[in-house]
A and B are shown apart, each in its own frame.
Chain A
């Protein structure tokens, strides 16, 4: 891709413009769900690692949670094991679980390595480390026409996250890079959807932002147009009327839960855009959809009260 020529003075201006953003987000925690093309395309992957190292070095606390869907499918395919998905989730038998753990472990070390080559101090983690992700077998709610719940095998759901390990690492300047494996009461490992881990972690840490990298422009409306800003209630509506479907559903479920439980904003970011993270954090306009809590766009509600209240004072 051709880089537009800009003068040194313009470069200095761009860096200077970033200062208020760096200042505003200094010391703030961002949980980043990493996946999609941003993880598979070498150029995007390198840019992602640089962005993460940069955010850390300018004083923010990025925490990475990654999936590994396509890579897992690839290996399963090579091994002749058929990948089965139900409601966007991978049915995981023991053989599949071995592959999941293997692929995630390898990806984790690759991501850690790339960030470290760029000057970050990344540390790879798995939910088993210090037993920080407590999981149990996921039992999906019964759907119409079902007599017994769907058996997803070793697919887990999160019971709780112990934030100490991640907090301590982050406070000491490290960048936690987490693979979505949780541990049950008997020490058994569960495969957990990475979106759900990222969402729950963001909640537990009361993160400033949860950023979810996807292979989409963001959340789209019925006519395929990008929605720049939506609130939690909009997500419910879009899920119920079928506008949002497939792999976007678990992402938006996680987003919805996160903004309703203490995360200030969630961003569904187009991970196919180079340096999407820097654009999202250090400029006014993001690249994708910003999801805010229901009470966030208070502007008009407060104004209505403000005008109304003064009206009554006039009497």
Chain B
């Protein structure tokens, strides 16, 4: 299984969240992740926001991968949120975002965690993956799309 699917789980996939801006998206992501790790949501939001200040985590094509290092976290963990309406994210292509993969890594992040980020970016840069993901409307199927990547070339 790829690195991203390995740290994601269907319970941390939320489809159809309505937000009007980036900060509401990060708040929701923090709530979602905190309930699994017993972490303080405000702490997560603050870390995600700090990373955004260094440069947007929007990739283009409607995708963003907000991420942060977090004190007290033992291992990397991911959540996926699909927004009901696209939200401005200051992405390189200027387009708003609907698909948001959130990654948290332990404070003592290693090369492995950077590779996790790299693989997440590679995954979402793959048009076939994005198309496959867009088609899925059910949490289990969305999770399966993550598990199935990389798909065998047609």
**What residues of chain A have their CB less than 8 Å away from a CB belonging to chain B?**
16-17, 19-21, 23-25, 28, 208-209, 226, 228-229, 264-265, 284-286, 290, 292, 296-300, 302-307, 310-311, 314
Contacts and interface: CB of A to CB of B under 8 A. Distances in A.
B93 A290 contact: yes
B92 A297 contact: yes
Contacts, number: 91
B91 to A, nearest CB: 9
B121 interface: yes
Most B C-beta atoms less than 10 A away, residue of A25, A28, A302: A302
Contacts of A209: 94
Interface stretch (B3-11, B25-33, B110-118, B141-149): B110-118
Interface residues of B, number: 35
Nearest to B59: A299
B92 A304 contact: no
A217 to B, nearest CB: 12
B86 interface: yes
A178 to B, nearest CB: 23
B67 A303 contact: yes
Nearest to A226: B127
Contacts of B109: 307, 310-311
Nearest to A18: B86
A209 B95 CA distance: 11
Contact of A292 (B60, B85, B96): B60
B125 A229 contact: yes
Contacts of A310: 69, 107, 109
B117 A300 contact: yes
B59 A24 contact: no
A258 B113 CA distance: 35
B14 to A, nearest CB: 19
A266 to B, nearest CB: 10
A24 to B, nearest CB: 5
Given A17-B85, A24-B96, A292-B60, 17 more contacts: A20-B85, A21-B86, A24-B95, A229-B60, A284-B86, A290-B60, A292-B93, A297-B59, A298-B92, A299-B121, A300-B114, A300-B118, A304-B114, A307-B114, A310-B69, A311-B109, A314-B107
Nearest to B67: A303
A302 B121 CA distance: 13
Nearest to B111: A307
